[in-house]
Amino acid sequence: MAFLKFLLASVFVVQLCPVFSQEKEPFENLSIDRPDVSNLPVTVRPGHYQIEIGAEWDKNNDADELYLPVFMLRTGLGKKTELRLGLTYSRLDSVFKDPFDHVSAASIAIKHRIAEEKGWRPSIALQPEVNVLFTNGTGASRQDFTYDFIFLFNNTFHKQVFLNYNAGFYWIGQTEKRILLSASLSFLHTHRLGYFVEGYTLRTINENENYSFDAGITYLITPRFQVDVYGGKRWAATSNYLFWGAGLGIRIDKGDMKPKTFKEIGIHH
């Protein structure tokens, strides 16, 4: 019920955003930020609504965790700016060190492109974000805020090979500060099938061992509908988690609801 209320509120908010009339533009290729940590410096156009949703399972010796849903709604505010509304709910089945059994996180962010790729210069975007975390369970209940500021970069080495990397700062509560460094290498095997491998760290300045990695497969079912599967190993607090998940991304283009084929957008193989 809470997720449904959040979804309805999100749709109401983005409907209030101004969408200006413009000449018909070429078809916008689908660009999904999930499932890796590194976000692309690509924004959704005004009048387009993109939903990215998935589920993830994490496991170590102390706990089994289920993240469902991992949800993001994206829509364009301008040619270079998008609004991002997110919601994640996690449930810890068995925990011996952490007393909290349920965590809900709602987020609001803006992604703004500041430079396009040119030669060796990457495309660049900025993404400030605010998260509200609600935790409750057998131990206690509390509410925390995190504030993120992330730089997003992308280099195209070949029409099928891309390097996407992020660097950012996280302020967790009033005292904890962390840095994010990530790099994701993607290979498009065909116009539908893609692979990626990624390494990242989310750490305090004084931490020496905090490295995570993942890898996955993406598949474009239609020009506006993609699915993914992935897995990896994550460092969190003093534990290492194995995780795996799956999800999808779909875009709804206002004024162009007719299903598109690859041939219609200029891909004939």
The confidence score (pLDDT) of residue 204 equals 86
Distance CA 269, CA 267 (A): 6
Rg (CA), the chain: 19
Task: Of 217, 226, 178, give the one whose Cα is nearest residue 198.
Answer: 217
Please report, for the chain, how many H helices and E strands are present, in that order.
1, 12
Tens-digit pLDDT profile for residues 105-163: 999 999 999 999 999 999 999 999 999 988 887 666 778 899 999 999 999 998 899 99
Rounded to the nearest integer, the mean pLDDT of the chain is 87
Q: Which of 2.40.160, 3.30.1450, 1.10.3470, 2.60.40 would CATH assign to domain 2-16+43-178+242-253?
A: 2.40.160
The confidence score (pLDDT) of residue 3 equals 45
Tell me the pTM. 0.87
The confidence score (pLDDT) of residue 242 equals 95
Distance CA 137, CA 83 (A): 32
- What is the domain partition of the chain in residue ranges? 2-16+43-178+242-253
Confidence tier at 20 by pLDDT (50, 70, 90)? very low
Tens-digit pLDDT profile for residues 193-231: 999 999 999 988 777 778 999 999 999 999 999 999 999
